[in-house]
Amino acid sequence: MLVDPRDSLLSSYDYELSADLIAQEPAEPRHKARMMMLSKGKRTGVINSSHLRVWDLLKELRSGDLLVMNNTRVLKARLKVRLQSGSLAELFLLEPLGGGDWLCLAKPAKRMRPGDYLSLASSEQDHISLKIIGKDNSTGGRIVHFPPCFSDREKIESFLCQYGETPLPPYIHSNDLRDEDRYQTRYATCPGAVAAPTAGLHLSDELLARLSSHGVDKAFVTLHVGIGTFRPLEEENLKDLRLHREWVEVKQEVVSAIDACRTRGGRVIAVGTTTVRSLEASFLAGNGCLKSYKGEVDLVIKPGYKFGVIDGLLTNFHLPKSSLLLLVSALIGRGKLLHFYREALAEKYRFFSYGDAMFITPEAILPDSRI
């Protein structure tokens, strides 16, 4: 396989996007979003695109296929707090550190020093005092001590439902209460993410039910999406790229579902890049054999990576110079992906979290990208 040296340069993953193509609200119903499908022409053998709707997955998926989805649930991780001076400020919870300590982004961080106390109140709730106990150099954030009963993602969720706000990405400018529902997948059951696994936002209850009735099976992994997932990369040289760590759980029932899919001749279709990262990290942790896994992962998937689990991918249109763009490039090739992105721009597809979808069929994936 020939290696293109440009694949290792961050600037090779850039493209120009007009602001009016950044989706500000989701499609209604969910499955009405547009979907660019990449498949191989039966006569030409050339990868080409078809312009469909997500609902058309009913025609494109087969009985025996397996959809694997990320069931993480977005926490209301944005908190308004009051400084000791009386000024308002903001915390953005990232991850638990144990004993009630949480890593948070802080705004304005310069005015939140270790030892300071913050007050937190809702019009209908009691005042709660929080203490800043340290800085985190890697993120520029603050380590904040909450009451010890809020020691993990599940235990803090009810507290955040009372005091917090849904953390929409900065490029979404709406402030709509409907976002609390629409910025969650319909199967979000495991609290812990600070950003949604956005490909799954396209799947409605009706579509999922119809797929099941057509013989398409479902399985769920958990990856608690961190804010780093959507951040643009900064280093031009990608050869030694390192990424943020995220918490993953791939249960034995997922492994069994994938084994059963292979046995019946079905295809494993991942919904979203976070699902890909979960499955492939578990595969590598099992030394080339998919096994159950629970813990943190920092897997980098970029051109040259060999996929061991997935056969196809439903994904969104991603930010320039992002790790997500690298991952999709590893499946179909950077040049080919950017070609179809240019086509999506010309066809006025909607981009990013609330935007439209791309379905990469198994035959569109580079043969050299599989183990």
Please report, as a single letter, which amino acid is at residue 233.
Answer: L
Indicate the average pLDDT of the chain.
94
Q: What pLDDT, on the 0 to 100 scale, is given for residue 126? A: 67
The DSSP bridge partners found for residue 287 are none
Over the stretch 56-80, which tens digit does the pLDDT of each residue have? 999 999 999 999 999 999 999 999 9
How many Å apart are CA 342 and CA 21, to the nearest integer?
12
Residue among 241, 249, 236 at smallest CA distance from 279: 249
Is 274 domain-assigned?
yes
Which range has the worst mean pLDDT, 28-37, 84-93, 247-256? 84-93
- pLDDT confidence of 371, banded at 50, 70, 90? very high
Q: Residues 15-39: what's their mean pLDDT?
A: 97
How many Å apart are CA 118 and CA 129, to the nearest integer?
6
Is 281 domain-assigned?
yes
Do 87 and 228 have their domain in common? Answer: no
Do 293 and 362 have their domain in common? Answer: yes
Do 311 and 246 have their domain in common? Answer: yes
How many Å apart are CA 38 and CA 45, to the nearest integer?
12
pLDDT of residue 244 exceeding 80, the answer is yes
Q: What pLDDT, on the 0 to 100 scale, is given for residue 342? A: 98
Task: Find the helix or strand (DSSP H, E) in which 120 lies.
Answer: strand 117-120
- Top-confidence range, 17-21, 122-126, 225-229: 17-21
Do 55 and 97 have their domain in common? Answer: no
- pLDDT confidence of 227, banded at 50, 70, 90? confident
- The domain in which residue 139 lies consists of 78-165
Instruction: Please report, for the domain that includes residue 23, its CATH number.
Output: 3.40.1780.10
Residue 125, token pair as written in the block? 């709730």
Q: Which residue has the higher pLDDT, 2 or 208?
A: 208
Q: Residues 267-284: what's their mean pLDDT?
A: 98
How many Å apart are CA 168 and CA 187, to the nearest integer?
19
- pLDDT confidence of 1, banded at 50, 70, 90? low
Which of 165, 198, 227 is the C-terminal boundary of a domain? Answer: 165
Q: Residues 313-317: what's their mean pLDDT?
A: 98
Phi, psi of 159 (to 5 degrees): -65, -45
Phi, psi of 158 (to 5 degrees): -65, -35
How many Å apart are CA 358 and CA 325, to the nearest integer?
12
Do 87 and 69 have their domain in common? Answer: no
Over the stretch 153-189, which tens digit does the pLDDT of each residue have? 999 999 999 899 999 998 999 777 788 899 999 999 9
Residue among 232, 221, 347 at smallest CA distance from 277: 221
pLDDT of residue 18 exceeding 90, the answer is yes
- pLDDT confidence of 122, banded at 50, 70, 90? low
Cα distances from 70 to residues 218, 243, 311, 326, in angstroms, run 11, 19, 16, 20
Which of 165, 190, 212 is the C-terminal boundary of a domain? Answer: 165
Do 188 and 153 have their domain in common? Answer: no
The DSSP bridge partners found for residue 359 are 37, 314
How many Å apart are CA 123 and CA 352, to the nearest integer?
34
Which of 102, 136, 165 is the C-terminal boundary of a domain? Answer: 165
Do 273 and 355 have their domain in common? Answer: yes
The DSSP bridge partners found for residue 136 are 141
Our count of domains for the chain comes to 2
Q: What pLDDT, on the 0 to 100 scale, is given for residue 230? A: 61
